[in-house]
Amino acid sequence: LLLSSYEDRLAPGCPQVQLGFRYEARDRRFTVYVMQLSNCSALCLPTDQKMYVRVAVLPCVEATRCLFRTRSSPPRDAVEFNEVFGMQISHSALRQKTLRVDVCDTGKSGHEECLAGAQISLADVSCSEEKCTKWYNLLSRVYLPETHVS
């Protein structure tokens, strides 16, 4: 079992992602740790599709790599990824960014489909060398404001 606390068992319905962050001022390096997913059954992933996590540091500047994807996994209720992504960025620039973390699959059409995600403002990301780890609720894309308006 990845989760075992009393409250987690009481509230099994909410898909979550566990992330870690670290900003190293000396190397101007921002690191994102995609640790694990839980309660993915609630996402109703297609059983014939593999799932993965997409991480984007936004808005993206052209010269920098800001989009990362984990390996794919068969759809399961809980998945450990333990993957690490890093980018070089100044602390003041980072504090203007927002991190989008989405659970995606490659649909039948071959296009990337994002089913649910978390969005984390980096306005108060700290400069401590310690890794800060947290669970974030994943919100289904059906609740996002429509991206293409009429």
Task: Return the range that interacts with a copy of itself (CB under 8 A); candidates 27-35, 45-53, 74-82, 137-145.
Answer: 137-145
DSSP symbol at 42: G
Residues 76 to 135 in contact with a copy of itself, rule: CB under 8 A: 92-93, 95-98, 100, 102, 104, 107, 109, 111, 113-114, 117-124, 134-135
- Taking the least distance from each CB to a copy of itself, the nearer of 8 and 83 is 8
3-state DSSP assignment of residue 76: coil
Q: Where are the beta strands (DSSP E) in the chain?
A: 16-24, 29-38, 51-58, 67-69, 79-88, 98-106, 112-121, 132-137, 139-140
Is there binding between residue 14 and a copy of itself (CB under 8 A)?
Answer: yes
CB proximity list for 143: less than 8 A, separation 6 or greater: none
Q: How far apart are CA 103 and CA 3, in angstroms?
A: 19
Contacts with a copy of itself, 48-77, as mask; x by CB under 8 A: --------x-xx------------------
Do 140 and 17 contact (CB within 8 A), yes or no? no
- Taking the least distance from each CB to a copy of itself, the nearer of 87 and 93 is 93
117 C-beta neighbours (distance < 10 Å), count: 23
The minimum distance between CB 135 and a copy of itself, in angstroms, equals: 5
Q: Which residues bind a copy of itself (CB under 8 A)?
A: 7, 10-11, 13-14, 16, 56, 58-59, 92-93, 95-98, 100, 102, 104, 107, 109, 111, 113-114, 117-124, 134-150
